[in-house]
Amino acid sequence: MLQESLLGSTAGEGLLAAAARVAEAIERGPEHDPVLIRGLHGGAAGALLAGWAAGPGAGGTALLVTADRKDAEQLADDLEVWLGAGSAVYLPQQDVLAFDRNSPEPAMVGDFFVGLERIRAGSGRIIVTSLPALRQRIMAPHTFERALLRLKTGKIQDPDELCAALVQRGYRPAGLVAKVGDFARRGGMIDVFTPGEHPLRIEFFDDEIVSIRHFSVTTQRTTARGTEALILPVSHLLLDDDAVLGCLARVEERLLESGAPPDDDDFLHDLQARLEDRLVDDGLESYLPWLGPTATVADYLPVGTHVFWVDPVRLKEHSELLDQELPRLREGRLEHEAILPDLEELVEPAARLEHAGFRHTLVAGGWIVGDEAAAWLAEAPRQDVAFQTSGQDLRGGGAEALAERLRENAAEGRASLVVCDNKGQAERLIELLLDEGEVPAEALPRVGTLSAGFDWPEARLTVITDHEFFQRYRRPVRVRHRSSGLVKERASLRPGEYVVHLEYGIGRFRGMKVITVEGADRECLELEYGDGGKVFVPVENIDQIERYSTDQGANPPLARLGSGSWLKVKGRARKAIRAMAAELMEIYAVRKAQPGFAFPADTHLQRALEDSFLYEETPDQLTAITETKRDMEDTQPMDRLVCGDVGFGKTEVAIRAAFKAVTSGKQVAVLCPTTLLAQQHGETFGERFRDYPVRVEVLSRFRTPAEQKEILQRCADGKVDVLVGTHRLLSRDVKFKDLGLLVIDEEQRFGVRHKERIKELKRQVDVITLSATPIPRTLYLALMGARDMSLINTPPRDRLPIHTEICTFSRQVLVEAILREVHRGGQVFFVHNRVQTIEGVAQLIREHLPHVRVAWAHGQMQEEKLERIMLDFLDHKFDVLVATAIIESGLDMPRVNTIIIDRADRFGLAQLYQLRGRVGRSNHRAFAYLMTPPGERLTPDARRRLAALEEFQALGSGYHIAMRDLEIRGAGNLLGEEQHGHMEAIGFDLYCRLLEETVAELQGGGGVAPLDVKVEMRVSAYLPDDYVGDPQQKMDLYRRVARMRNPEGCARLAEEFKDRYGLLPAPVENLLTVQRLRILAGQAGIQEIKATRQGLDFFFAGGQEPAPPIIQGLMAKGPRGLKFKAIDQFIMKMPAAREEHLAAAAVMLERVLALRDKE
């Protein structure tokens, strides 16, 4: 049924009448004769197909096939707008081609199988896919049925067998489940991230499933409970024993037939090892036909399915392109692998797509009878249904013209549907229209994300989309939930890593060790020191240890136990930190004392702009925006630093601040380090402010002297609201009538002279500085009291890790990477940093891939030519841009999802990191290739840089390891050279800790650390390996326990442990109880609790001794035999049996605190 909220009766009837003509033509003709529907332009095809699906003549199943993934996504989204969410089954084209050396992303395979299961179960009638997805051979229906894992509470299921079955279906074991395809086993718990939004947590009692729950990836806590679950595969391969043996037999048979040389034994052994280990990666899917029966999507559909072939010309063009390129990819693989299945075994020939049992219909815009380019099916269409439609012609953003068109349509009895991407844009457009006079209420804009508008006189319907009307970029609608979106700090230590103990200094971590003392098991961290010294640190004191890290990757000398040198080093660092913190806070205080302009609170225009943001803000981004606007509304001048990774949304923070300034009557200057970035910011700001009376100009070398002069004059007259530019903005001839906000992007990239001029400007106006050099959260927390900083550490939702490969320069890899990206509708950056040979590289790519559109660009080009090439590339007029490192800074091109960096060994880590950040800005998996010259030895430093970049592919822990030297370099830039030396001496983490304590102390808050309490009990208190097996998680949990500062938090942790790992064993309960005792003892002024043979001794800290009324209260209500001693230290002695020590200590501490509260 068509959505009544979108269409009134007039439009709905017109659309259904048009669809009825199509249904009649399909039913009237012979079964095997294709029907042609033509004249459908803009978004009319989606509307008509939705009308056909909603009409009475549409029985059975329909398959809609487009030429590529982008068209399929748009058509599926359009159908869901017309028919309602979930009405279309979308089968995504995989992000790699057949015979690719890379395996498809598990989440995308999972999405494909979600759709396939809906078809199989009969819950999906309208199916949308692309031609490459339809031609790709997949597992046969009966294999797919075997690949489904059905679980139910009460079912007997061996957990070991379940884990083995998951591996056979493409799942990979992980310490912590964070993305689709991960699974983790912890004792009687198995977490599985199946395709969909929330992963599963399956709890066993022995081999019985006792509970099935969904949980949040972010918190790892349960969100919902159920009794049944269906686990879909995340690989196209089902690697059970029969399949593996069958494949190896086929490979041996084909090797014998081909007469392959004996040295191919290595290939066979390697393939056998990968299959036996179930390693579904490196393009193992190419062997699918030898692992069992295969099929295509068509084999999952019932006889009589209606197949709609959308845009036959493009279908034929794409199909022929596949037929040309896939054999080349196969040949490239055969250079390294002895044998592969034939092309037709993996990819269905186009000639076999016209299934006899289906009804075929061609859907086209323009149509030329007899045109060979449109001869997609073997039979020419015998029946022709022609419509007169046109694409949306109303563009340019003129509200007056739009209002007039809506009134005209209403007068002629035609329906108008104006759709906007979100509520904010709809409300803003309604405001603009109502300013132009009366507009029919039913024609007012509403929310709906259609790909394109159209005019259809016969259906009495005009559809207008806001993104075409305002001529702006449209966000992709289809979103998959794959990952947590959170970057977590790595808390674990690896054996062999250097650490710093607050008391003992720099040592080497040797591992975790369970030691038994007087019958009680305790887990300790074993630290090695100079001259063979060893220290065993109980896990409850883990917060005394920090990782030793510097940006030099140095091997520091180990401290010697008992020597005083460490105390001297720490003392010098603490003294320097104190001096620097005092200076920072003095500057901060002086600036806060200066008068500034207090911007008014948000207006309705501000709210409308923010509602029109095309993406979902991340929590960190919202915090940064709130903090920035709060600073602007304050009477003191703002100087806020916003740090965040590339592509994490810093620019949007600046855009909202700029808009707030402009709507308050102030001007804004945006300062950028490069011309290209200035140009990009100019376009971004202009695009966001398009619907509002805000004038944005760009001052850079892309402008002629005459244009620059005119812009400067208008700026001085107050006729420019936002001026974006390079260091040209810092020239003395640049005058503002009323500058209110300065936005600085990447301040560290400006020279000393420019920085001095920036300092002058900072004294007069509010300033927001954006930095993509990562600053660690620890430093951010330490400096919070001395600098206004915002940290954006959360990647946008559905941001995927960038697949990074280091390889020698290879034409096969080059061809494969470019073809993969072009076939999925994307673009490629090829970075070649030599201007003299850049044109030759572009020519090399053209020779290998004649159909690919290639351009080249570098900083020595004429300004107009460079600007034109960059704009054409942004408009997708080219597929590949060969460029120097000028693309490094801040360019935002979401369609570019592959980057190839030539001579990657010549770039620094920070530069490689920035270059790689140019891709991966959408919800598609991005690829980065770091190419080095074949046969040339790399320097150890170059090898380390490249390995570091390859290591931090994930958005999780590995990211933090390899980012360390970048972060510390960023911290050094922020704090200066002298402080950098102290970071080296004591390690970065301890430096941040001391800085945090110092800042808090200078602010009058005293030390940040609570009273350090020692609890010595003869109880086993630790996390057993069979409860938490992953060392990284275990270390993280120990730190969380040690840093807990209130008893309620211990109770919450106990609940979390139970939820994530199962019932608490006695050692875990004891661990949490000991921490609770430490917290209560600290609050009571007790610094040590010690178990003795007679009971418990409580040692009070100096100055914290209990007052006489408390002692009297304890004597009156305490246990018999309670004693107090006060010689060198005040001690309370309490009799208690050993098995009651924990409970007795808790009762006594609570009594002490209750008596203190009464005082």
Q: How many residues are recorded in the chain?
A: 1159
d(CA 448, CA 1018): 66
Q: What is the pLDDT of residue 782?
A: 57
Residues 378-416: pLDDT tens digits?
Answer: 778 888 899 999 999 888 778 899 999 999 999 998 889
Residues 537-586: pLDDT tens digits?
Answer: 988 888 888 888 765 556 788 998 888 888 888 899 889 888 888 887 77
Q: What is the pLDDT of residue 478?
A: 55
| Residues 451 and 375 occupy one common structural domain | no
Q: What is the pLDDT of residue 753?
A: 73
Tokens read off for 588: 């901060």
Given pLDDT bands bounded at 50, 70 and 90, which one contains residue 785?
A: low
Tokens read off for 610: 């923010």
d(CA 183, CA 793): 25
Q: What is the pLDDT of residue 958?
A: 32
Residue 300 burial (CB count, 10 A): 21
d(CA 561, CA 56): 86
DSSP class of residue 861 equals: S
From 372, 387, 402, the end of a domain falls on 387
Sequence-distant (6+) residues with CB within 8 A of 564 are none
d(CA 822, CA 702): 30
Residue 221 has pLDDT above 80, yes or no: yes
Q: What is the β-pairing status of strands 138-139 and 294-295? A: antiparallel
The arithmetic mean of pLDDT across residues 1101-1115, rounded, is 89
The arithmetic mean of pLDDT across residues 582-594, rounded, is 77
Tokens read off for 1047: 């008893």
3-state secondary structure of 483: strand
Residues 322-350: pLDDT tens digits?
Answer: 998 899 889 888 888 889 999 999 999 99
Q: What is the pLDDT of residue 957?
A: 33
Given a contact cutoff of 8 angstroms between Cβ atoms, the answer to whether 925 and 800 are in contact is yes
Q: What is the pLDDT of residue 959?
A: 39
d(CA 744, CA 641): 9
Q: What is the pLDDT of residue 977?
A: 64
| Residues 1024 and 1151 occupy one common structural domain | yes
Tokens read off for 1032: 């990284």
Q: Which of 742-746, 814-818, 904-908 is predicted least confidently?
A: 904-908
Sign of the alpha-carbon dihedral angle for 71, 825, 954, 110: positive
CATH of residue 154: 3.30.2060.10
Q: What is the pLDDT of residue 261?
A: 65
Residue 620 burial (CB count, 10 A): 21
DSSP class of residue 562 equals: T
From 387, 402, 428, the end of a domain falls on 387
d(CA 126, CA 76): 9
* 477 within some domain: no
| Residues 826 and 914 occupy one common structural domain | yes
Residues 739-752: b if buried by 16+ CB within 10 A, e if exposed: bbbbbbbbbebbee
* 969 within some domain: no
Q: What is the pLDDT of residue 623?
A: 92
Q: Which of 572-586, 794-808, 853-867, 971-985 is predicted least confidently?
A: 971-985
Residues 865-900: pLDDT tens digits?
Answer: 888 898 889 888 999 999 998 887 656 788 899 999
Sequence-distant (6+) residues with CB within 8 A of 89 are 115, 118, 119, 124, 126, 127, 128
Percent of the chain's residues with pLDDT above 90: 43
* 960 within some domain: no
CATH of residue 671: 3.40.50.300
Given a contact cutoff of 8 angstroms between Cβ atoms, the answer to whether 1065 and 1027 are in contact is yes
Residue 111 has pLDDT above 70, yes or no: yes
Between 527 and 1120, name the one with better pLDDT: 527
Tokens read off for 618: 């991340």
Tokens read off for 917: 């950040």
Tokens read off for 406: 């809506």
Q: At what angle do helices 650-663 and 619-633 cross, to 10 degrees?
A: 30
Residue 495 burial (CB count, 10 A): 11
DSSP class of residue 15 equals: H
Q: What is the pLDDT of residue 134?
A: 96
Residues 167-189: b if buried by 16+ CB within 10 A, e if exposed: bbbbbbebbbbbbbbbbbbbbbb
Closest CA to 829 of 869, 797, 868: 869
Sequence-distant (6+) residues with CB within 8 A of 3 are 81, 82, 83, 84
Q: What is the β-pairing status of strands 88-91 and 138-139? A: unpaired
d(CA 329, CA 848): 12
d(CA 1049, CA 1042): 11
Q: What is the pLDDT of residue 696?
A: 96
Percent of the chain's residues with pLDDT above 70: 90
End-to-end CA distance of the chain: 72
* 159 within some domain: yes
d(CA 201, CA 189): 7
Closest CA to 999 of 709, 752, 785, 759: 785
Residue 925 has pLDDT above 80, yes or no: yes
Tokens read off for 506: 């720099």
* 585 within some domain: no
Residues 608-623: pLDDT tens digits?
Answer: 888 878 778 888 899 9
Tokens 């106990």 sit at which residue?
1054
Given a contact cutoff of 8 angstroms between Cβ atoms, the answer to whether 902 and 958 are in contact is no
* 778 within some domain: no
Q: What is the pLDDT of residue 473?
A: 62
Q: What is the pLDDT of residue 481?
A: 44
Q: What domain range includes position 311?
A: 9-141+294-387
| Residues 920 and 1032 occupy one common structural domain | no
Q: What is the pLDDT of residue 484?
A: 44
From 954, 972, 1002, the end of a domain falls on 954
d(CA 1099, CA 935): 69
| Residues 313 and 227 occupy one common structural domain | no
Which helix or strand (DSSP H or E) is residue 94 part of? none
Total-model pTM: 0.81
Residues 128-185: pLDDT tens digits?
Answer: 999 999 999 999 999 999 999 999 999 999 999 999 999 999 999 988 888 899 999 9
* 790 within some domain: no
| Residues 729 and 830 occupy one common structural domain | no
Q: Which of 307-311, 698-702, 996-1000, 1044-1048 is predicted least confidently?
A: 996-1000
Tokens read off for 387: 């419509």
Residue 969 has pLDDT above 80, yes or no: no
Residues 478-519: pLDDT tens digits?
Answer: 555 444 444 444 456 788 888 999 889 999 999 999 998 878
Tokens read off for 849: 């891939």
Residues 1076-1100: pLDDT tens digits?
Answer: 999 999 989 999 999 998 999 999 9
* 226 within some domain: yes
d(CA 490, CA 958): 8
Torsion of CA 100, 103, 109, 112, to 10 degrees: 10
**C-alpha distances in Å from residue 506, one per residue of 24, 29, 54, 425, 538:** 83, 84, 72, 57, 17
Sequence-distant (6+) residues with CB within 8 A of 958 are 951, 952
The arithmetic mean of pLDDT across residues 54-67, rounded, is 83
Tokens read off for 904: 């990657």
| Residues 731 and 646 occupy one common structural domain | yes
Q: What is the pLDDT of residue 625?
A: 95
Q: What is the pLDDT of residue 4?
A: 58
| Residues 1093 and 1051 occupy one common structural domain | yes
The arithmetic mean of pLDDT across residues 759-769, rounded, is 80
Which helix or strand (DSSP H or E) is residue 744 part of? strand 739-745
| Residues 706 and 822 occupy one common structural domain | no
CATH of residue 79: 3.40.50.11180
d(CA 593, CA 1068): 52
Phi, psi angle pair for 419, to nearest 5° = -115, 140
| Residues 867 and 932 occupy one common structural domain | yes
3-state secondary structure of 330: helix
Given a contact cutoff of 8 angstroms between Cβ atoms, the answer to whether 309 and 381 are in contact is no
- 682 burial via Cβ count (<10 Å: 0-12, 13-18, 19+): buried
Given pLDDT bands bounded at 50, 70 and 90, which one contains residue 974?
A: low
Q: What is the pLDDT of residue 136?
A: 95
CATH of residue 1109: 3.90.1150.50
Residue 907 has pLDDT above 60, yes or no: yes
Closest CA to 96 of 87, 105, 88: 105
Sign of the alpha-carbon dihedral angle for 781, 782, 786, 792: negative
Sequence-distant (6+) residues with CB within 8 A of 825 are 68, 69, 70, 895
d(CA 580, CA 590): 15
Q: Which of 116-125, 662-671, 957-966 is predicted least confidently?
A: 957-966
| Residues 215 and 309 occupy one common structural domain | no
**C-alpha distances in Å from residue 1137, one per residue of 1018, 1021, 1095:** 11, 18, 6
Torsion of CA 110, 111, 116, 122, to 10 degrees: 120
Tokens 């490629």 sit at which residue?
828
Tokens read off for 80: 């869901």
| Residues 607 and 742 occupy one common structural domain | yes
Given a contact cutoff of 8 angstroms between Cβ atoms, the answer to whether 365 and 40 are in contact is yes
**C-alpha distances in Å from residue 948, one per residue of 132, 932, 953, 962:** 35, 15, 9, 5
Q: What is the pLDDT of residue 564?
A: 81
Contacts by residues 405-412 (CB-CB < 8 Å, ≥ 24 positions apart): 405/462, 405/464, 406/433, 406/439, 406/440, 406/443, 407/438, 407/439, 407/440, 409/443, 409/462, 410/440, 410/443
The alpha carbons of the chain give a radius of gyration, in whole angstroms, of 34
Domains in the chain: how many in total?
Answer: 6
Angle at 236 between CA 231 and CA 237, to 5 degrees: 95
